[in-house]
Structure 1
Amino acid sequence: MATKKQIILPVVVIAIGVAGFFGMAALKKPPEEKAEIDTTPLVSVQTVEIKPMDFSVNSYGVVAAKYETELVSQVNGEIVFLSEKFVRGGFVKKGDVLAKIDPSDYDAALIDAQASMASARATLVQEKAFGKVAEAEWKRIKDGVPTELSLRKPQLAQEIAKLNSSEAGLKRAKRNVERTVIKAPYDALIEARNIGLGSYVSMGSKVGKVLSTDDAEIRLPIADKELQFLHDKGKYAEVLLKGQFAGKPQVWKAKIVRSEGVIDSRSRMTYLVAEVSDPYGLNSDTNELRYGTYVTASIEGLHAGQVTEVARHLVINNQVAVLDDDNKLRYKDVNIVRQIGSKVIITDGLDAGMNLITSALDYPIEGMQLALPKEKSLDNDDSDPQPTQIAMGEKE
């Protein structure tokens, strides 16, 4: 049988342990309640602007002369004169003498032709006199009938033919003398000179090459789908050319004068030709536009009306995401009329003042609640700032 001491001692130990446990529990600080984290996705937006726009079509090209002429010798002979202007890069006016070929032989040939013609004229006059004498003699013969031969008509026709031949020879001799002088066919820039003083040229020899300076042309390749944005396929459209001159950007005005009318078999492009008057500024104060310059071109197009420009990656299946007045995600169907680089032009589907969502969402669902960064910052002003990491990436 247990003693009284054996019964009381365990009870006292248990009581002390329970008291110690509750004492320790009372001293322990209760855990703090965690603040509720707002998980509403953050988005960035762009206000939709609707404004009038005129389409333009971009292209490029190399400036070239409207006319290029190879100068060739039309007679044989030695070069006895060269103009100081007849050098590569020289400017000449129409009719300027560039070079002369020794005319001695051709002057002699001209004298021979003049003498032959004078002789033919004298013979013709003489033959006409013989014909009149024969006609007068036959008038005194009453019973006879004169023939053409007896009236010397064949002889007269022969002398007339000889006179015509001598006239042709005289014209040919004069033309050959004129051809000994090589002149500029128009106001031009000398691109090349292939002769020197004292060199001998024969008929058909290349003397040089000239480029007209009145007008320059630029062939501008245009994709077939871009023609729809030009009035009358670009005919007579204004063009703005941009390029570099002396290390500085320059701008020139041009006008489309024609289309080449065919599609290039290699590039599948249609070529429009733009024209610039007085490219070297010889007769005006325009900026110098040298032949061979590479330029970019902006061709004036149709009026697009009231449109909106939107980044291309924001449009998926002809829809864009917008943030409505209740900060909820909505999708709008849009009508795209043109794509220009990284942007698209929209005519219908968006209204001015709409908030276009420009950031990407991981799992977008129409009608989901969204928030703007500034709204969340206002909500967190009264609480300790907590770092929040939102994964956002733009969809291409």
Structure 2
Amino acid sequence: MIKSKTFTAITIGAIAVIAAFLFFIINSTEPEAQREVATKRTAMLVDVQEVRRDNYNPLIEGLGTVEAAEDIILSPRVDGRVIEVTENFIPGGFVKKDEVLLRIDPADYENALVQRESAYTQARSEMDLELGRQNLARKEYNLLRQDIDEKNKSLVLRKPQLAATEANLKSAESMLNQAKLELERTYVRAPFDAQILSRNANVGSEIDTNTELARLVGVDEYWVTVSVPVARLDRITFPEKGQPGARVIIRNRTAWPAGTSRKGEVMRLIGALDAQTRLARVLVSVKDPLALNPETQGPQMLVGAIVQAEIAGRELENVFRIGRDFLREDDRLWLKRDGKLTITEAKVVFKDKDYAYISEGMEDGDLLVISNLAAVAEGIGLRTEAEAETQE
């Protein structure tokens, strides 16, 4: 019985040794190609993007406030009672340059004009009479020349009287012109093509030269004061020697339909930082801001609105541009080279909202890994979707 159990144990042990030997032989003689395929199938599946050097214009973003290039408080230049207000002189109304906005009662100014015309006519008559006297005085002088010394010559020729008469005539003429001017000023006109933002006078209002009749803004041009970091000013092109400033795209994501924008141009750098934010301020010009010209595309701009500005920066030459999300922690890059992960350090020359611009750390034709990896280690196997399909 004991011998039987011993024999059985020996038999089982021998079978186990033989099985292990056969497993080793089979694995050691498996074709190399099959092992490579198995290794590739265990590589992580990633998405990649081929990169190339090129020239790019980065975008410099900032918030800005819309203001009118022409913005005035209109006051009359003469006193009186308002007797007429025109139909366009209302908040939101549009008026052309020199268009009449309201009229002041002209009666007092018409009377003053009549008086000044009379005074001028009288001064003109006195001048004509004095010129006649001058002729007589000259004739008398020619007869008495030998008996008159130089000191009395001007008196004999009535030169003081002529000077006084000429002065009176000039004064009368000036006062007449002033009376005409004041009568014309009873018509209050728009100083430029404008939109009325507010009106503070109606028919019957008594107004004087200190009265604020209305607020007008020009419709030809608006300005946007954009705040940007000081460090980014060197990438903005300002107008110089007849060359235009940088292009600007204006957006208002809270008020305008999606995808709409207005175009502008950098005008000036304001020479002082914002006192609160310590940011630089760039002045941007937008023509026809209210889109009154049928050829102008885009929504109307409102004075006082907060908008987003995208300024086209100076061109970066011979750089790579990648999405900011693909620039990894500590400015590292994940590249797929020879089926393996290569980690390099990028030299970043600029970043904007969407992209990072890189001068070193990659080569033309490199495959940038744009997928997130669960485990990151130099040299781990990588494969793309196309490679996975080929292997299957």
Question: Which TM-score band (shorter chain)?
Answer: 0.7 to 0.9
Equivalent AA in structure 1 for residue 101 of structure 2: L
Higher deviation after alignment, 257-266 or 80-89:
257-266
TM-score normalised by length of structure 2:
0.78
1:260 aligns with 270
1:85–1:184 CA distance, 2 compared to 1 (3 A): same
Q: Aligned match of 1:55 in 55, 58, 73?
A: 58
* 1:335 Cα offset (Å): 1.8
SS across alignment from 1:148? helix
* 1:20 Cα offset (Å): 6.6
Equivalent AA in structure 2 for residue 238 of structure 1: R
Return the alpha-carbon distance in structure 2 between the equivalents of residues 151 and 375 of structure 1.
115
1:167–1:101 CA distance, 2 compared to 1 (3 A): same
Rg larger in structure: 1
1:354 aligns with 366
Q: Aligned match of 1:301 in 300, 305, 313?
A: 313
Point out 4+ residue stretches in structure 1 off by more than 6 angstroms: 20-30, 373-378
Matches within 5 A, 1:113-262: 113-141=116-144, 142-145=146-149, 146-232=152-238, 235-243=244-252, 247=257, 249-262=259-272
Return the alpha-carbon distance in structure 2 between the equivalents of residues 346 and 278 of structure 1.
38
Return the alpha-carbon distance in structure 2 between the equivalents of residues 376 and 256 of structure 1.
49
* 1:291 Cα offset (Å): 2.0
Q: Is the 8 A contact 1:78 1:200 kept in 2?
A: yes
1:359–1:207 CA distance, 2 compared to 1 (3 A): closer
1:297–1:290 CA distance, 2 compared to 1 (3 A): same
Equivalent AA in structure 2 for residue 290 of structure 1: M
Return the alpha-carbon distance in structure 2 between the equivalents of residues 369 and 282 of structure 1.
62
1:23–1:194 CA distance, 2 compared to 1 (3 A): same
Number of residue pairs aligned between Structure 1 and Structure 2: 361
Q: Aligned match of 1:332 in 320, 341, 344?
A: 344
SS across alignment from 1:305? strand
2:114 aligns with 111
2:33 aligns with none
Equivalent AA in structure 1 for residue 178 of structure 2: R
* 1:354 Cα offset (Å): 3.1
Return the alpha-carbon distance in structure 2 between the equivalents of residues 47 and 348 of structure 1.
17
* 1:300 Cα offset (Å): 2.2
For 1:208-252, what per-residue CA distance to the aligned partner results, in whole angstroms no more than 9, with x for missing partners?
111111222222222222223334589522222223666554222
Return the alpha-carbon distance in structure 2 between the equivalents of residues 190 and 62 of structure 1.
20
The answer to whether structure 1 residue 291 and structure 2 residue 291 are counterparts is no
SS across alignment from 1:173? helix
Q: Is the 8 A contact 1:308 1:347 kept in 2?
A: no
1:113–1:377 CA distance, 2 compared to 1 (3 A): closer
1:277 aligns with 287
**Higher share of residues assigned helix:** 2
Return the alpha-carbon distance in structure 1 between the equivalents of residues 187 and 384 of structure 2.
83
SS across alignment from 1:250? coil
Q: Is the 8 A contact 1:43 1:359 kept in 2?
A: no
Q: Is the 8 A contact 1:116 1:166 kept in 2?
A: yes
2:32 aligns with none
1:130–1:369 CA distance, 2 compared to 1 (3 A): closer
The answer to whether structure 1 residue 73 and structure 2 residue 84 are counterparts is no
1:172–1:218 CA distance, 2 compared to 1 (3 A): same
Q: Is the 8 A contact 1:75 1:180 kept in 2?
A: yes
SS across alignment from 2:111? helix
* 1:332 Cα offset (Å): 2.4
Equivalent AA in structure 1 for residue 148 of structure 2: G
Q: Is the 8 A contact 2:248 2:312 kept in 1?
A: yes
TM-score normalised by length of structure 1:
0.77
Return the alpha-carbon distance in structure 1 between the equivalents of residues 137 and 212 of structure 2.
58
SS across alignment from 1:217? strand
SS across alignment from 1:264? coil
RMSD: 3.7
For 1:186-212, what per-residue CA distance to the aligned partner results, in whole angstroms no more than 9, with x for missing partners?
111111110011110012211111111
* 1:342 Cα offset (Å): 6.5
SS across alignment from 2:82? strand
1:370–1:104 CA distance, 2 compared to 1 (3 A): same
Q: Is the 8 A contact 2:341 2:382 kept in 1?
A: no
Instruction: Flag structure 2 segments of 5+ consecutive residues without an equivalent.
Output: 21-26, 28-37
Q: Is the 8 A contact 1:56 1:230 kept in 2?
A: no
Higher deviation after alignment, 302-311 or 167-176:
302-311
For 1:46-90, what per-residue CA distance to the aligned partner results, in whole angstroms no more than 9, with x for missing partners?
334225332222233233322112110111110000001100001
Return the alpha-carbon distance in structure 2 between the equivalents of residues 328 and 203 of structure 1.
82
Q: Is the 8 A contact 2:127 2:169 kept in 1?
A: yes
Higher deviation after alignment, 147-156 or 200-209:
147-156
Q: Aligned match of 1:64 in 64, 67, 70?
A: 67
For 1:78-109, what per-residue CA distance to the aligned partner results, in whole angstroms no more than 9, with x for missing partners?
00000011000011111111100111111111
* 1:309 Cα offset (Å): 0.9
The answer to whether structure 1 residue 345 and structure 2 residue 349 are counterparts is no
Instruction: Flag structure 1 segments of 5+ consecutive residues without an equivalent.
Output: 1-14, 382-396
